[in-house]
Structure 1
Amino acid sequence: MTDNPTSRPPRSPRPARFGRPRSLPAWSLLAACAVAGGLVGGAYGTLRTPEYTATSYVVAVPTEQSDPAAALGFAQVYGRVATQLAVLADAQVWAGVPARTLQSSVRTSTSPDAPMVAVSASSARPDLAVDMADAVARSMIRRAADTRNSTHVELLQFSRAVRPAAPASASREVTGLVGASAGGLLGGLALLVRPRRTAPQTLLPAIPAIPATVPGPAVAADVQAQR
């Protein structure tokens, strides 16, 4: 007995192989930006040359004809002029580097409460950082000695620079975390400024108008009788 072809149920249509691409969730953009920022930050921390910093300390001491307040004021002054060419003329010879290198690598800081000047030098070589910090401090002491009779303040070596054991620049772990944070922040800003998709409006079927009911003959006769 053979099956009747007309009695078979109709086959359901096959679904399309390639459908409409689905939009990615919002957190995927944040995760991608954070991962990309972390990779860039880690690569920067790995490829960057480590930098070492050494610090030498100089203290201002008043002479018999001066007072501690004058020493505090001149410590602020010497801290500001430490990187001037007049002071670095001798320091570049003792450190063995040009004055431009000293100006870009040496920083000074002072305290409003203590007559002390901190001379910090940064370099890719820890021994060179020590030499530059001590050379600038030594040049400051020499310049202060030349003007001692007029300022009544002299500079003394409080502490020489110590060879740094570890670089002062950020490690790759730190730069990676900073990059990941920056990437996540940029991803969040991108989500805030992107145009929002509006939901498609559903068209309601038109409601046919209901025609007015025309009164029949009997109803019209009753109305005429009531009048």
Structure 2
Amino acid sequence: MTTTQSLAVRRAIGWLTRLRRTRRRWLVPAAALLGVLAGCGYGLLKTPEYAATSYVIVVPSAKSDPAGAMGLAQAYGRVATDIAVVGDAQVAAGVPAETLRASVQAATSPDAPMIAVTARAPRPATAAGMADSVARALVQKGSHTEGSTGVKVLQFTRAATPTEPVSPSASLAALVGGCAGGLLGGLALLVRPRYPRRGGRSRYGSVPGPVAQQEALV
């Protein structure tokens, strides 16, 4: 090989080495940028979701124990999304019972005999109507068993029509996507495989074996 050819090979090897280092250097920023674009696209294309909450209270009668009202409120909260309740609410809500079971959640308070019925829907009015319908159906179920339970189930407040969606905005989704992309890019740099160089030598040199050590001592 001539001197000119040897110089050209060295330049090519140096250029490839710099290219590889540049690709590694830009892996994390490129992954973060890709995450930002993906998150922004998700936030823009996803249908906004609204949430509305209606409150139901369990009131003990004059002859019943107030502590019993707390326990019954917990029980009513567990059955608020059962088919026996949402089946009666689907007509007033205007949506099937399966949609109510998937979109409505009930939460109870440990300090008061109160049940929060929260509904989520793509439209604000639909979310409020679903929450109120399930709450009224729960009140009807409570009135049927008032003689045996000794408590009254009443609708404390109606659901207000939400004005802002609860789903993440495009900016928040882009921020989360950028953080996730940067993290994945950093992990890819940490777990990338290391290949030995040509000739069987590793990146940090070869370790002499027992035979080589004995020869060196002789």
The reply to whether TM is greater than 0.5 is yes
1:24 is aligned to 2:21: yes
Cα displacement (A) at 1:201? 4.5
Equivalent residue number for residue 203 of structure 2: 199
Partner of 1:105: 103
Structure 1 position 191, deviation (Å):
1.3
Amino acid at match of 1:130: A
Q: Which residue of 1 aligns with 2:67?
A: 69
Distance in 1 of aligned mates of 2:130 and 2:56: 14
Higher alpha-carbon deviation: 14-23 or 170-179? 14-23
% identical aligned pairs: 53
TM-score by length of 2: 0.82
2:38 corresponds to which of 37, 40, 49: 40
Cα distance in 2 for partners of 1:174, 1:27 equals 26
Which residue, 117, 132, 136 being the options, matches 2:115?
117
- Distance in 2 of aligned mates of 1:152 and 1:159: 22
Q: 1:31 to 1:72 in 2, by over 3 A?
A: same
Aligned to 1:52: 50
User: Structure 1 unaligned runs (5+)?
Assistant: 1-11, 203-227
State the AA in 1 paired with 2:98. R
Q: Secondary structure at the match of 2:80?
A: coil
Paired AA for residue 68 in structure 1: P
1:128 match: 126
Task: Specify the alignment match of 1:3 in structure 2.
Answer: none
Which of the numbers 61, 78, 89 marks the counterpart of 1:91? Answer: 89
> 1:129 Cα deviation (Å)?
0.5
How many residues matched?
A: 191
CA RMSD of aligned residues (A): 1.9
Instruction: Find the residue that maps to 2:26 and give its secondary structure.
Output: helix
Shift of 1:84: 0.8
Structure with larger Rg: 1
Q: Following TM superposition, by how much is the alpha carbon of 1:200 offset from its aligned partner in structure 2, in angstroms?
A: 6.7
> Please, what TM-score do these two structures have when normalized by structure 1?
0.79
SS at match of 1:24: helix
2:154 maps to which residue?
156
Q: Distance in 2 between matches of 1:123 and 1:89?
A: 18
Secondary structure of the structure 2 residue equivalent to 1:196: coil
Q: Secondary structure at the match of 2:120?
A: strand
SS at match of 1:169: coil
* CA distance in 2: counterparts of 1:117 and 1:104, whole angstroms: 18
Partner Cα distance (1:44, 1:91) in 2: 33
Distance 1:172 1:149 in 2: 52
Q: Which amino acid aligns with 1:19?
A: A
Q: How far apart in 1 are the matches of 2:204 and 2:105?
A: 63
Displacement after TM superposition at 1:112 (Å): 1.2
Name the CA distance, whole Å, in 2 between partners of 1:199 and 1:150. 81
Aligned residue in 1 for 2:212: none
